A and B are shown apart, each in its own frame.
Chain A
Amino acid sequence: MTLLKNREAVLAFAILLLVALVATRFPAFVRPANLVNVFNDTSPLILLAIGQMIVILTKCIDLSVAANLALCGMIAALMNGAGVPLPLILALAITLGAALGAINGLLVWKLGIPSIVVTLGTMTIFRGTIFLLTNGAWVNSHQMTDGFKALPRAVFAGLPVMSWVALAAIALFTVLLTRTPLGRSFYAVGGNPHAAVYTGINVGRTQCTAFIISGALAGLTGYLWVARYAVAYVDIADGFELSVVAACVIGGVAIAGGAGSVAGAVLGALFLGVINNALPVVGISPFWQMAISGSAIVLAVAFNAAQNRQPGRIILKSVEAR
């Protein structure tokens, strides 16, 4: 556990260093208002990374999160057009996201199909469904009600609602993972599925639950995304699932399952968020941004691999006694 904490401390330090470096060339970047902006911009990534982290903990992966987000966002926009009240839209977006996640989870659990295959398939199906619903048409700003668009931007105590949602999710899932039996079983299932079975844990059901959580977060983010950018179409958040997985990997979530934390996933997302927001300000071309994000992923994985290298067998008595 100390190892994990170290890993997160290293990442937090890297983010601070990055922010400091940017500040030397562009002091306005560290103004509180701008930092709030960066956090707010990164909130969708944080929300999805938390869900993805839980899925990866259980030795699975959810590639359909971005498509799930786009489908739920589109349906939220369509419901808004049909006059459905906002609280109901929110509840239905989360429920629909969870249901889509449950499809992934049930296919993994009941049919034993590898999650990468299942979610690769559902990713395309979800995007295709948006097309079927709209015939490829966009839902634009003028077709949305003001209340629908205002919620994520509304500011409470200096932070937009979007950021508050991310903070609430961080708190909720930190407690879920560290303080509930369900959270413990995510770690057990990913750490050693065979042993988990022998301990009385239903591995498939636990994995399915992880997909439902990831889906529900994607559904919620779908509404927030569409409302904030005031547009919904087939390709919103296209390719975003890769950023989400990248945030997890940078945040020290073991891709083989069983190790990771909410804090790690959030820091991973923030790292990418800072890079994406800072580099244009400093005047670095978008091509370099991609190269830098990519290098960060490889570095993070190399760092984790070095940390996780198996210690040799403990044969010497003196070492064991220590």
Chain B
Amino acid sequence: MKPVLSLRGISKSFPGVKALQGVQLDLFAGQVTALIGENGAGKSTIVKVLTGIYQPEEGTIEIDGTPIRFASAQEASRVGVTAIHQETVLFDELTVAENIWLGHAPRTRWGLIDRRAMRAGAQRLLSSIGATLNPDLRLGDLGIASKHLVAIARALSTDARVVILDEPTAALSHKEIHELYDLIETLKSQGKAILFISHKFDEVFRIADRYTVFRDGQFVGDGAMADVTEGQLVQLMVGRSVDQIYPARSHNIGPPVLTVAGYSHPTEFADIGFTLHQGEILGFYGLVGAGRSEVMQALFGITTPSKGAVRIDDQVRVIRSTHQAIAAGIVYVPEDRGTQGAIRGLPIFQNITLPSLATTSRAGFLRLAEEFRLARAYTQRLDLRASSLDQELGLLSGGNQQKVVIAKWLATKPRVIILDEPTKGIDIGSKAAVHEFMAELAAEGLAVIMVSSEIPEVLGMSDRVIVMREGRIIDEVSGPRMTPETLVRAAAGIAEAA
């Protein structure tokens, strides 16, 4: 059988990162191909190449054996490649029918939109996927599963031949997931070639006919699902040569600093309990959406948990606001440093002293000299390159902005520092510097929590690793059990191999 769509030798790089290196991918009519890989393996990048959002530097894309180039997203959709994303991109204020036909609505002979044809077409497309939605409903009034149906109907309205489903079940309930499976069967029977991206092995084994595995932007292998076991897939996903060097750690672990027990939130997580010691780096691993960042945000007072206790040095601390968290000695360096960490319009020194103003001011008045002293002390320690501390933060490079954000927190002299995906999106060189620095912090007796989705980083840096899945702690791994296989199995919910 010939593939409908075939990619060969595709490479794509971004400044400092090779996102894809000569990967290949084949999609066949009437078959579901699962694309499997860890976070950062290049799955999202290949989707963007397939839908014409990124143009690869090297490699060929063939449709029915004819080479083709997608210069834009419109071109990809014209030749019949369409993607349904994790967060579907639709318009809440428009009706179902309008969403389905937006951009290519049927026209009357006067060039106006033919509302009747649009409605009828929407009805036909929806019923072809077994959906019974009223095309006149406002999209915003629908649930997430119904929105998916609309997105799929929209995909079909362009006569798509290749349908990409990017983690479609991430936000769905159990029942809705089963309806989606039925829908995928329908699409298969209509001869569509389907690319299915998922982290969940049970799903992949249930609906995929073929698999392709990427690792670190490279193609690792492909084949029929019938010829492979879960164990072999895990092996393909994680089996790597550890080429990155992690700094030597002192592992000088002191008494407990932070104790969390029975920590629960109405919708985000339940029964979280762990102890963090002085000088320790505790890793939190899990799939995206496992609830790790949500737990950290509650610990930092951004959201309010429903029950559970937080103790620092054996004293119960009530944390209902970020202010209380900082006072209790907990600080959080968020994942999205651009929007949550830095205030680009303020000078460097003001960014650093913002949470420490209580200590740098006297009798309610700021003391600028004191602020400069504090800022200088911490920027020197982090080796910040800036012409002056009076410079606007926005004028610094990304790596240096990050240093300012970290300096800001260290200046509050915290007991516990939570780093959420500390090396996400930064180049290898800066990564090593961040790792070095984390090791230093721990050696100085700070208690560190590191949330990371990168297995090598989690294993290379942590003393212990807590694995979360679906809002709960699934496993706590330390010592000889700290292997890639253990983490992946726990995070994906696969029983440990005998």
Contact = CB atoms under 8 A, between A and B. Distances in A.
B400 to A, nearest CB: 9
Interface in B339-358: 339-347, 350, 354-355, 357-358
Contacts of A188: 343, 346, 350, 354
Interface stretch (B18-26, B209-217, B321-329, B422-430): B321-329
B93 interface: no
B44 interface: no
Interface string A152-195: 00000000000000000000000000111101110110011011
Interface stretch (A25-33, A198-206, A265-273): A198-206
A184 B394 CA distance: 17
Contact of B390 (A1, A183, A196): A1
Given A184-B350, A320-B385, A195 B340 contact: yes
A200 B321 contact: yes
Contact of A191 (B340, B346, B361, B390): B346
Contact of B354 (A184, A259, A310, A314): A184
A180 B397 contact: no
B366 A181 contact: yes
Nearest to B365: A179
A187 B385 CA distance: 24
A311 B344 CA distance: 12
Contacts of B387: 322
A259 B340 contact: no
Contact of B347 (A1, A183, A195, A200): A1
Interface of B: 15, 300, 302, 321-323, 325-326, 332, 334, 339-347, 350, 354-355, 357-358, 361, 364-366, 385, 387, 390, 392, 394-395, 397, 408
A200 B345 contact: no
B364 A198 contact: no
A200 B366 contact: no
B395 A195 contact: no
Contacts of A202: 321, 323
Given A195-B339, A199-B354, A258-B343, 20 more contacts: A1-B347, A1-B390, A179-B365, A180-B361, A180-B364, A181-B364, A181-B366, A185-B354, A187-B350, A191-B343, A195-B343, A196-B343, A197-B340, A199-B408, A200-B322, A200-B323, A202-B321, A310-B394, A314-B397, A315-B15
B346 A181 contact: no
| Shortest beta-carbon contacts, A-B, top 3 | A191-B343, A181-B357, A191-B345
A200 B327 CA distance: 9
Nearest to A322: B387
Contact of A192 (B344, B361, B397): B344
Contacts of B332: 198
B322 A195 contact: no
User: Which of A184, A185, A258 counts the most chain B CB atoms within 10 A?
Assistant: A184
Interface residues of A, number: 29
A183 B346 CA distance: 13
B341 A187 contact: no
A198 B334 contact: yes
B90 to A, nearest CB: 24
A195 B341 contact: yes
Contacts of A180: 361, 364-366
Contacts of B347: 1
B325 A200 contact: yes
Contacts, number: 83
A192 B344 CA distance: 8
Nearest to B368: A179
A311 B391 CA distance: 14
Contacts of A195: 339-343
Given A180-B364, A322-B387, A198 B340 contact: yes
Given A192-B343, A192-B344, A259-B345, A181 B322 contact: no
B342 to A, nearest CB: 6
A184 B360 CA distance: 13
A184 B357 contact: yes
30 contacts: A1-B392, A178-B366, A179-B366, A180-B361, A180-B366, A181-B357, A181-B361, A181-B366, A184-B354, A187-B345, A188-B343, A188-B350, A191-B344, A191-B345, A192-B339, A192-B344, A194-B340, A195-B340, A197-B322, A198-B300, A198-B332, A198-B340, A199-B322, A199-B355, A202-B321, A202-B323, A258-B346, A311-B395, A320-B385, A322-B387
User: Which of B346, B361, B387 counts the most chain A CB atoms within 10 A?
Assistant: B346
A125 to B, nearest CB: 29
A59 B111 CA distance: 43
Nearest to B333: A198
A179 B325 CA distance: 25
A226 to B, nearest CB: 34
Nearest to B358: A181
A162 to B, nearest CB: 29
Contact of B339 (A178, A194, A258, A322): A194
Contacts of A192: 339, 342-345
A285 to B, nearest CB: 41
A187 B387 CA distance: 23
B340 A184 contact: no
Contacts of B364: 180-181
Contacts of B321: 200, 202
A82 to B, nearest CB: 38
B301 to A, nearest CB: 8
A259 B393 CA distance: 14
Nearest to A178: B366
Contacts of B350: 184, 187-188
Contacts of A185: 354
Contacts of A197: 302, 322, 340
Contacts of B334: 198
A320 B401 CA distance: 13
A200 B343 contact: no
A195 B408 CA distance: 12
A25 to B, nearest CB: 42
Contacts of A322: 387
A136 B408 CA distance: 56
A184 B347 CA distance: 11
Nearest to A259: B345
Interface in A194-237: 194-202
Contacts of A187: 343, 345-346, 350
Contacts of A178: 366
Contacts of B325: 200
Given A184-B357, A314-B397, A320-B385, A200 B344 contact: no
